[in-house]
Structures are given as structure tokens and as C-alpha cells.
């Protein structure tokens, strides 16, 4: 296949040839089409590396009414995400070899490449788990979230040691439940229904609880020479702590989600209980500071923590609704819209969604439009935003916290040279390819 006249993130206009092995053969000017070669004419559009979303919850096994590998990976493909990494809080939790194998069999339905993380609970079996092609250990829950997999400091230390011995990175959900403000959930929270706001949830799971847990996790990892990736940092203070640890020689990176970048306590009042997630939304002031760190380069990775729940579940009232919001399909679109309006450079967007996550987790075939890399590619008209609406998205959960915001959506998504998603620019009609996804932990 030949893609002609595409603009790359750095502004160069190039032709890109994809070999039969699904890798990029050449990035050059003036490549002529071979006889019988499929040509995609890309003039006026951008060709970007497919996003590597290192934090999704696709819910199988055990939660297929929220999402399946088919629906989740379609949502990924339509959003320009070509590799996803699934988290272990499924049912059964992915804490031993047998659970890993069960999930890997289901992931064969994926349209996009995937990694499978292993989890840590009192019942975990490191021997059989590390025997499998794991992507990373994590997210290791230092406080309870969906799945109630919170663990104590001793078990976390054991997990860091076990992972460091095998050169496996550890991703961590860092909140300290002893610093939550129980009083914030007293009183009238608005009862069942969307009238309740998630603001009390933000008051309950305090910013201090995150910052303290992040600092402790960084120190524990550094003491054991473990590679640590802090998931969904929601505060500028936590990002600064990671930067500081790295300056001190630690192998540490941080991740920020689109919901903490584009939503805040003030902005999300109309979301009701649909705005409840862990860690929760913060003040508009903190959101702006977090976004500034993204723009200036302090944030390593933007990943979604795509955590779909059914509408009926989210309507249960603030205390009983599960935590989490979907996001895999709107990651690239929201950031590309920020690039369109000039808040972020296109290269910065490319780096935080593709190049940096690939590099952080050692995926040397992913994350870049360059010779020899997998042809995981996204073709997009970066000047053509649309309004985000849940009805046009593909997650099985059927809602989005970003309803009404603008996003710049892909036209074509390729995984190792295969078209997995195509949108007719005239009608908007979407079509999907076959499940070609492979486990990136295998190689």
C-alpha cells in the first residue's frame, strides 16, 4: 500500500509505503505506485502514528454488559488508537496465569493490538503470572477502586521487588484512603438519579490523598530499582513529584487522562453521577495547571483510563454508582482539537499519545511514523472538528462525559497496514475491518 502526499506531525509532506509484513517500508518524497498497489491519496490531510493507550478497561471477562473486546476495540479504532493495554480489575481479576489465559483468549476479538496487565491482590500468583506474556504489572491499586483490589504497603513492596527482578514495569493507582475526607459524603447527596453531582466525590477523595500516595509510591519504587508509571495523575502536584523523582534518578513516568485535562469540578456539574471517577475531578484551577504541564512537556503520557459502566449503573446515586468514565475514542480527537486551536503543538500531541507510551513500555515497533515501525497509522483532516456525541461513538456503554465538546476524528485507521476503521467523509458512515489485533507482550 502507498499513502501519498500526507503531512506528518512535524509539517513535512511525504509518501509512505507499507510492506507486506505490515511495517513501514519507506517515508520519502516522490514514491511512485507499483502495479496493483493500493494507493491512498492523502493530500491536505495529516498522517499520524496510531495512539498507544496504556490504560483501558475492556471489561471481559465478567463485565461484557459494560464493554467487550469487540466494542472496546472498535471504539479504539474509530478514535485512532491502535494499541490498548487492558487492566486487571476484571472478573476474575487477572492475578494468575489461568486468568491471564482466559483474558488472552477473549482479546483475540480485538481489532487493534493489545497488551494485558497483571494485577496484584493477596491471592495473586506471581510465578504463573510472570510466566505469561505480560505487558506490565498493574494498575496496582493502592486504594480501592472498581473491583476493590486495594492492597497495603507490604504487598506493594513485594510486587515492586518481583517486577524489578524480571525487568517488568509497574503501573500504580496512587491514592491514600486514610487521607480521604469521610465527612464529605455526609448529608444530602441528591439521592438516586443524575441530579446528584459528583462534586462531593471530589471533596471526599482529596488531592492530598493522591499526592501523598504518589510520593510514597515513587520512593518505594526507587528503593527497589523498579520502573514505575503513575497512572491517571489528576493533580499538578503529583506530576511535579514524578518529574522531581526522575531528576533524582528514578525510572518514573506519569500519565494524565483526558477527563482530568478537559473536565473539572466546576465544568462537570451537569454530569451528575456520571462525573464520578477515581481519582476524581479537581478544581478548574488545578485542571488548568495540569494542562499547562502537558503543554510544556512535564507530562509523559496521556492515556484514557477508559472505564465504561452502564447508564443504569451510573444512575444509582453518588454513593452507589460505580467510578469511571469511557474515553478511548475521544483521546486523539480532544487533543487534536487543542492542536487545532493552538493550545498544544501537533508534535506534542503525537508524543504523549504515541511516541512516549511506546518508549516508556519498550514497544520499539510502535509509536512513530518511521521506516521499520509497524504501520499503525491514522489519517485525519486536522482542520475539521465535529461535536462529540455519544450516539456517534462505539463503546457499548452508550454515553460520554465529553458530550458537546469538539473533537477532530480520524478518517482512516490502520493496524500493521490493515484498514481497521474507515469513515466516509461525505456521509460520516463508519466501517470496520477484521479483528487483526495481536498481543504486543508476545515479542
Ligand X SMILES: NC(=O)N[C@@H](CC(=O)O)C(=O)O
Question: Which residues bind to ligand X, rule: CB under 6 A?
Answer: 57, 89, 139, 145-146, 173, 277-278, 305, 307, 323-324
Q: Which residues are CB-neighbours of 382 under 8 A, at least 6 positions away?
A: 45, 46, 336, 339, 340, 346, 408
Closest to Zn ion by CB, 280 vs 407, is 280
Give the span between the Cα atoms of 339 and 327, in whole angstroms. 18
Quote the least distance from Cβ 434 to ligand X, whole Å: 28
Q: Does 173 bind Zn ion (CB under 5 A)?
A: yes
C-alpha cell at 404: 458537546
Closest to ligand X by CB, 57 vs 366, is 57
Q: Does 422 bind Zn ion (CB under 5 A)?
A: no
Q: Does 15 bind Zn ion (CB under 5 A)?
A: no
Contacted entry of Zn ion, ligand X, none for residue 52, CB cut-off 5 to 8 Å set by kind? none
Quote the least distance from Cβ 105 to ligand X, whole Å: 21
- Annotated ligand binding at 229? The verdict is no
Closest to ligand X by CB, 327 vs 410, is 327
Q: Is 167 a catalytic residue?
A: no
Q: According to CB under 5 A, which one of 25, 255, 305, 374 is a site residue for Zn ion?
A: 305
- Annotated ligand binding at 55? The verdict is yes
Residue 67: how many other CB atoms lie within 10 Å: 26
Closest to ligand X by CB, 23 vs 315, is 315
Closest CA to 411 of 78, 126, 141, 95: 78
Give the span between the Cα atoms of 431 and 333, in whole angstroms. 18
C-alpha cell at 288: 488548568
User: Is residue 382 a contact partner of residue 336, using CB atoms and an 8 Å limit?
Assistant: yes
Residue 36: how many other CB atoms lie within 10 Å: 5
Choices 70-78, 167-175, 368-376, 403-411 (CB under 5 A): range interacting with Zn ion? 167-175
Quote the least distance from Cβ 305 to ligand X, whole Å: 5
Quote the least distance from Cβ 89 to ligand X, whole Å: 5
- Annotated ligand binding at 205? The verdict is no
Catalytic residue of the set 15, 86, 113, 305? 305
Q: Which residue is nearest to Zn ion (CB)?
A: 173
Quote the least distance from Cβ 140 to ligand X, whole Å: 11
User: Is residue 435 a contact partner of residue 111, using CB atoms and an 8 Å limit?
Assistant: yes
Closest CA to 339 of 11, 77, 5: 11
Contacted entry of Zn ion, ligand X, none for residue 96, CB cut-off 5 to 8 Å set by kind? none
- Annotated ligand binding at 278? The verdict is no
Q: Which residues are CB-neighbours of 183 under 8 A, at least 6 positions away?
A: none
Closest to ligand X by CB, 125 vs 313, is 313
The residues in 137-156 that bind Zn ion, with binding defined as CB under 5 A, are 139, 145
- Annotated ligand binding at 58? The verdict is yes
Quote the least distance from Cβ 277 to Zn ion, whole Å: 9
Contacted entry of Zn ion, ligand X, none for residue 67, CB cut-off 5 to 8 Å set by kind? none
Give the span between the Cα atoms of 403 and 103, in whole angstroms. 31
- Annotated ligand binding at 356? The verdict is no
Task: With H, G, I as helix, E, B as strand and everything else as coil, classify residue 268.
Answer: coil
Contacted entry of ligand X, Zn ion, none for residue 323, CB cut-off 5 to 8 Å set by kind? ligand X
Give the span between the Cα atoms of 125 and 162, in whole angstroms. 11
Indicate if the alpha-carbon torsion angle 381, 386, 388, 392 is positive or negative.
negative
- Annotated ligand binding at 139? The verdict is yes
Quote the least distance from Cβ 306 to ligand X, whole Å: 9
- Annotated ligand binding at 305? The verdict is yes
The backbone region for 390, taken as left when phi is positive above 0, alpha when psi lies in -120 to 50, beta otherwise, is alpha
Cis peptide leading into residue 61 (ω within 30°)? yes
Contacted entry of Zn ion, ligand X, none for residue 439, CB cut-off 5 to 8 Å set by kind? none
User: Is residue 131 a contact partner of residue 194, using CB atoms and an 8 Å limit?
Assistant: no
Alpha helix stretches (DSSP H) within 234-391: 236-247, 258-262, 284-296, 311-314, 331-340, 346-350, 356-360
Closest to Zn ion by CB, 261 vs 339, is 261
- Annotated ligand binding at 46? The verdict is no
Write down the residue that cell numbers 477502586 correspond to: 145
Closest to ligand X by CB, 286 vs 306, is 306
Closest to ligand X by CB, 91 vs 341, is 91
Quote the least distance from Cβ 260 to Zn ion, whole Å: 12
Task: With H, G, I as helix, E, B as strand and everything else as coil, classify residue 23.
Answer: strand
What's the N-to-C CA distance of the chain in angstroms? 25
Choices 299-307, 310-318, 367-375, 417-425 (CB under 5 A): range interacting with Zn ion? 299-307
* Catalytic residue numbers, as ranges: 305
Binding residues for Zn(2+): 55, 57, 139, 173, 232, 305
Binding residues for substrate: 57-59, 89, 309
Residues making contact with Zn ion (CB under 5 A): 139, 145, 173, 305
Amino acid at each position: 500500500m502507498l499513502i501519498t502526499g500526507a503531512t506528518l506531525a512535524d509539517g513535512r509532506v511525504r509518501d509512505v509505503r507499507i510492506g507486506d509484513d505490515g511495517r513501514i517500508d519507506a517515508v520519502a518524497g516522490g514514491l511512485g505506485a507499483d502495479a496493483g498497489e493500493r494507493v491512498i491519496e492523502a493530500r491536505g490531510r495529516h498522517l499520524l502514528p496510531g495512539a498507544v493507550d496504556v490504560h483501558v478497561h475492556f471489561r471481559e471477562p465478567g463485565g461484557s454488559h459494560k464493554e467487550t473486546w469487540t466494542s472496546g476495540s472498535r471504539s479504539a479504532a474509530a478514535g485512532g488508537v491502535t494499541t490498548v493495554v487492558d487492566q486487571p480489575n476484571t472478573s476474575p481479576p487477572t492475578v494468575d496465569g489461568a486468568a491471564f489465559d482466559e483474558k488472552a483468549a477473549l482479546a483475540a476479538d480485538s481489532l487493534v493490538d493489545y497488551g494485558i496487565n497483571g494485577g496484584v491482590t493477596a491471592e495473586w500468583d506471581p510465578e504463573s503470572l510472570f510466566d505469561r506474556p505480560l505487558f506490565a504489572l498493574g494498575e496496582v491499586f493502592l486504594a480501592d477502586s472498581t473491583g476493590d483490589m486495594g492492597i497495603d504497603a507490604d504487598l506493594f513492596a513485594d510486587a515492586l521487588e518481583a517486577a524489578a527482578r524480571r525487568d517488568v514495569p509497574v503501573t500504580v493507582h496512587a491514592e491514600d484512603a486514610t487521607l480521604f475526607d469521610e465527612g464529605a459524603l455526609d448529608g444530602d447527596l441528591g439521592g438516586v438519579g443524575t441530579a446528584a453531582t459528583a462534586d462531593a466525590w471530589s471533596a471526599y477523595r482529596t488531592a492530598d490523598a493522591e499526592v501523598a500516595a504518589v510520593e510514597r509510591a515513587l520512593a518505594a519504587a526507587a528503593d527497589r530499582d523498579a520502573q514505575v508509571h503513575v497512572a491517571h495523575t489528576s493533580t499538578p502536584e503529583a506530576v511535579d513529584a514524578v518529574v522531581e523523582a526522575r531528576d533524582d534518578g528514578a525510572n518514573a513516568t506519569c500519565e494524565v487522562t483526558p477527563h482530568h485535562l478537559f473536565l473539572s469540578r466546576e465544568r462537570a456539574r451537569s454530569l451528575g453521577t456520571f462525573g464520578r471517577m477515581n481519582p476524581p475531578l479537581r478544581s478548574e484551577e488545578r485542571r488548568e495547571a495540569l494542562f499547562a504541564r502537558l503543554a510544556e512537556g512535564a507530562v509523559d503520557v496521556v492515556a484514557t483510563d477508559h472505564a465504561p459502566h452502564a447508564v443504569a449503573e451510573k444512575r444509582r446515586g453518588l454513593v452507589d454508582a460505580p467510578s469511571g468514565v469511557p474515553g478511548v475514542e475521544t483521546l486523539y480527537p480532544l487533543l487534536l482539537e487543542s492542536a487545532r486551536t493552538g493550545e498544544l503543538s501537533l508534535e506534542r500531541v503525537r508524543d504523549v499519545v504515541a511516541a512516549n507510551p511506546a518508549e516508556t513500555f519498550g514497544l520499539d515497533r510502535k509509536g512513530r511514523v518511521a521506516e521499520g515501525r509497524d504501520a499503525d497509522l491514522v489519517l485525519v483532516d486536522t482542520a475539521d472538528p465535529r461535536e462529540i456525541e455519544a450516539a456517534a461513538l462505539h463503546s457499548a456503554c452508550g454515553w460520554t462525559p465529553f458530550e458537546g465538546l469538539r473533537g477532530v476524528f480520524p478518517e482512516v485507521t490502520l493496524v500493521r497496514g490493515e484498514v481497521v476503521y474507515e469513515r466516509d467523509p461525505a456521509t460520516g458512515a463508519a466501517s470496520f475491518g477484521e479483528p487483526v489485533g495481536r498481543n504486543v507482550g508476545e515479542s
